[in-house]
Amino acid sequence: MKFSQMPYKRVEKESAVKAYEEFIKQMKEAKSGEEAYAVHKKKDDFEGDINSDITLAEIRHGIDTTDEFYEKENDYYDEFLPELSSLQDKYNRALYDSPYRDYLVSKIGYVAFKNLELGFKSFDDKIVPLLQEENALTSRYSKLIANAKIQYKGEEYNLSGIFKYTHSKDREVRKESWKSVNDYFNSVTEEIDEIYDKLVKNRTKQAKELGYKNYVELGYYRMQRNNYDKNQVETFRSQVKKAFVPFVGKIEKDIADRLGLDKLTLYDLGMYFKEGNPSLICDDEQVLLAGRKMYEELSPETGEFMDFMTDNELFDIKARKTKEQGGYMTFIPRYKSPFIFGSFTGTFDDVGLITHECGHAFQGYLKRNVEVSEHASLTMETAEIHSMSMEYFTYKWMDLFFGKDEDRYKKTHFEDSCIFVPYGCMVDEFQHIVYEKPEMTPAERKAVWKELEKEYRPCIDQSELDFFENGGYWQRQSHIFSSPFYYIDYVLASVCAMQFKVLMDKDYKDAWKKYLVVCEEAGLKYFTEILEDAGLLSPFKDGTIEKLVEELGKKL
Ligand SMILES: [Zn+2]
């Protein structure tokens, strides 16, 4: 079914409530495991159907935010979705409490049942008012950042508008525009401090009401950390400090040499070549055509996937004025179709849409025929392996996008991915400290960040930018506000994707086979079990990062 032909109808509240009440009743009355599982499958089909309509409305609203029909639908779901979660929670409890749980676990999976437990541990009706306040605070932060007014050379820009100056190949332009960003943050930092302070106190209160010592434990449940704890994450971060930080130091020295500088400053980050970063040689249409050729050559599975995506118009990636910002991959269960949303910018980021988001979509495509949706429901650290590894698997075809600049692109991508690893760990460690000591003042939080920068980002000079020099950088990292403890997922996935890079350079076909294992097992097994089956080392195991750095060092 082509995307444009997929019919949409609003999910009516009354009928949804009735349906869930009926499923709950049937689950409780089931006389055998088989009967209970049949009820669950019916519920799963029903949910797939309503999720399809909700997703269609979401995508179409994003494609044109001025479309009145879908704007209304969007407002309707904003209000209805929290009620829907409460219905789902009630159903989940009936499922979990079924006397036939053992049989249900054997059909639906142990990962799904573990996730149910984590869901129960992180929710109770009594924290609803706090959750609503939390939502309002995160929206306040997003709104503030989205409406940033940065004054630069007599013009006003928001953060995405100023990007072309902060990443200009002219160093003076970069420096001056970064100073404008610095001044902007100085002007709003008090408000951001206030928002964050309230968020930390709110989340701490939620944790206490649910009986936890602080928000760290609750945050882990909420992120569905079903397979590792904060001590393991700490082991990972300390390996990064020991082995990865010095490695990135070497990379940054290399970049500084290329740029003709003694050391990199904050405004040099993101610049990889003196003559500017590599640029695309193709327009929107050609990027898609190149993508099709690339996936057809990569493997039979990816070729079939790309035909499916193209034939059914499952991309919306052209930039339009009234389109929502950002890029993502989603899934429409009724048509078993992944969908990719984004806006081409004419820069090398467009290749990310065709590699990273297609990695997510390819995995969704491979698992589109699962018996129940739980078999395809994944946690983020695993999902990001699918996408980040695809960025490396597609290296071979970068000439299609960059022509003679392909090597420069690959270098940029590789170095950028490496520089991200310590940064991501810093974001994570910062949040652990913040939620372990919720009584800290805003100034103390900034001092914590400043100290962490000495450990994780020792080679970057920020002395000309006082806001950043004084430990303010985290205030522009939206995940810290909206999704606590999320960030480490990217880092864990990234070091797994890098292991794939090492493997594919030795034996591409074998690495691809292992990648398919990670795609297939996602949702069915735990993160570390999947890694083991795919022959990857666990990032939590001491020595993994040291070994990885040794291999990556050979590629510099
Ligand atoms: Zn992703």
What is the per-residue pLDDT across 6-41, written as a single tens digit (0 to 9) for each?
Answer: 999 999 999 999 999 999 999 999 999 999 999 999
Residue 322: per-residue pLDDT: 85
Q: Residue 112 Cα, ligand 1 centroid: separation in angstroms?
A: 22
The confidence band for 230, taking pLDDT boundaries of 50, 70 and 90, is very high
Q: Residue 360 Cα, ligand 1 centroid: separation in angstroms?
A: 7
Q: Residue 85 Cα, ligand 1 centroid: separation in angstroms?
A: 24
Q: Residue 156 Cα, ligand 1 centroid: separation in angstroms?
A: 31
Q: Residue 100 Cα, ligand 1 centroid: separation in angstroms?
A: 37
How far CA 441 is from CA of 200, 214, 449, 518, in Å, comes to: 11, 17, 13, 43
The confidence band for 81, taking pLDDT boundaries of 50, 70 and 90, is confident
Radius of gyration of the chain (CA): 24
Q: Residue 381 Cα, ligand 1 centroid: separation in angstroms?
A: 9
Q: Residue 328 Cα, ligand 1 centroid: separation in angstroms?
A: 7
Q: Residue 387 Cα, ligand 1 centroid: separation in angstroms?
A: 6
Q: Residue 293 Cα, ligand 1 centroid: separation in angstroms?
A: 22
Residue with tokens 């984590």: 118
Q: Residue 365 Cα, ligand 1 centroid: separation in angstroms?
A: 15
| pLDDT of 132 higher than 90 | no
What percentage of the chain has pLDDT greater than the value 90? 87
Q: Residue 447 Cα, ligand 1 centroid: separation in angstroms?
A: 31
For 474-520, the pLDDT digits (tens) are 999 999 999 999 999 999 999 999 999 999 999 999 999 999 999 99
Residue 92: per-residue pLDDT: 96
Q: Residue 532 Cα, ligand 1 centroid: separation in angstroms?
A: 22
Q: Residue 107 Cα, ligand 1 centroid: separation in angstroms?
A: 29
Q: Residue 392 Cα, ligand 1 centroid: separation in angstroms?
A: 14
Instruction: Report whether 143 contacts 159 (CB < 8 A).
Output: no
Residue 367: per-residue pLDDT: 97
| pLDDT of 349 higher than 90 | no
Q: Residue 506 Cα, ligand 1 centroid: separation in angstroms?
A: 26
Q: Residue 412 Cα, ligand 1 centroid: separation in angstroms?
A: 19
Q: Residue 256 Cα, ligand 1 centroid: separation in angstroms?
A: 29
Q: Residue 330 Cα, ligand 1 centroid: separation in angstroms?
A: 11
Q: Residue 521 Cα, ligand 1 centroid: separation in angstroms?
A: 18
| pLDDT of 223 higher than 80 | yes
Residue with tokens 């890098």: 498
The confidence band for 79, taking pLDDT boundaries of 50, 70 and 90, is confident
Both structure tokens of 126 = 């009594």
Q: Residue 325 Cα, ligand 1 centroid: separation in angstroms?
A: 15
Residue 212: CB atoms within 10 Å: 18
Q: Residue 420 Cα, ligand 1 centroid: separation in angstroms?
A: 14
Distance CA 102, CA 359 (A): 34
Q: Residue 279 Cα, ligand 1 centroid: separation in angstroms?
A: 22
Residue with tokens 């506000």: 481
β-pair partners for 152? 155
The confidence band for 472, taking pLDDT boundaries of 50, 70 and 90, is very high
Q: Residue 357 Cα, ligand 1 centroid: separation in angstroms?
A: 6
**How do beta strands 315-316 and 337-341 pair?**
parallel
Residue 83: per-residue pLDDT: 84
| pLDDT of 320 higher than 90 | no
For 417-439, the pLDDT digits (tens) are 999 999 999 999 999 999 999 99
Please give the distance of CA 22 from its chain centroid, rounded to a whole number: 35
- In the DSSP assignment, the letter for residue 337 is E
Both structure tokens of 528 = 């570390």
Q: Residue 459 Cα, ligand 1 centroid: separation in angstroms?
A: 28
* Sign of the dihedral through C-alpha 91, 93, 97, 103: positive
Instruction: Report whether 388 contacts 359 (CB < 8 A).
Output: yes
Domain boundaries, the chain: 3-124
Instruction: Determine the average pLDDT of the residues in 174-186.
Output: 97
Q: Residue 386 Cα, ligand 1 centroid: separation in angstroms?
A: 8
For 111-126, the pLDDT digits (tens) are 999 999 999 999 888 9
Q: Residue 444 Cα, ligand 1 centroid: separation in angstroms?
A: 33
Instruction: Determine the average pLDDT of the residues in 526-532.
Output: 98
Q: Residue 278 Cα, ligand 1 centroid: separation in angstroms?
A: 22
Instruction: Report whether 306 contacts 290 (CB < 8 A).
Output: no
| pLDDT of 378 higher than 80 | yes
Q: Residue 491 Cα, ligand 1 centroid: separation in angstroms?
A: 12
| pLDDT of 556 higher than 80 | no
Residue 479: CB atoms within 10 Å: 18
Residue 78: per-residue pLDDT: 82
The confidence band for 344, taking pLDDT boundaries of 50, 70 and 90, is confident
Query: What's the whole-model pTM score?
Result: 0.95
Closest CA to 408 of 393, 395, 391, 419: 395
Q: Residue 446 Cα, ligand 1 centroid: separation in angstroms?
A: 29
Q: Residue 309 Cα, ligand 1 centroid: separation in angstroms?
A: 18
Residue 284: per-residue pLDDT: 86
Q: Residue 388 Cα, ligand 1 centroid: separation in angstroms?
A: 7
**Residue 254 one-letter amino acid:** D
| pLDDT of 528 higher than 80 | yes
Q: Residue 358 Cα, ligand 1 centroid: separation in angstroms?
A: 9
Q: Residue 76 Cα, ligand 1 centroid: separation in angstroms?
A: 28
| pLDDT of 68 higher than 80 | yes
Q: For the chain, what is the mean pLDDT? A: 95
Residue 163: per-residue pLDDT: 87
| pLDDT of 456 higher than 90 | yes
Q: Residue 356 Cα, ligand 1 centroid: separation in angstroms?
A: 6
Q: Residue 384 Cα, ligand 1 centroid: separation in angstroms?
A: 5
Q: Residue 415 Cα, ligand 1 centroid: separation in angstroms?
A: 18
What percentage of the chain has pLDDT greater than the value 70? 100
**Residues with Cβ < 8 Å from 543, sequence gap 6 or more?**
239
Q: Residue 522 Cα, ligand 1 centroid: separation in angstroms?
A: 15
For 254-305, the pLDDT digits (tens) are 999 999 999 999 999 999 999 888 989 998 889 999 999 999 999 999 999 9
Both structure tokens of 260 = 């003709």
Q: Contacts by 289-298 with C-beta closer than 8 Å and gap 24+?
A: 290/354, 290/397, 290/400, 290/401, 291/354, 291/358, 293/397, 293/400, 294/354, 294/394, 294/397, 294/400, 295/358, 297/397, 298/393, 298/394, 298/396, 298/397, 298/512
- Residue 152: φ, ψ to 5°: -140, 120
The confidence band for 358, taking pLDDT boundaries of 50, 70 and 90, is very high
Q: Residue 383 Cα, ligand 1 centroid: separation in angstroms?
A: 7
Q: Residue 540 Cα, ligand 1 centroid: separation in angstroms?
A: 21
For 307-317, the pLDDT digits (tens) are 999 999 999 99
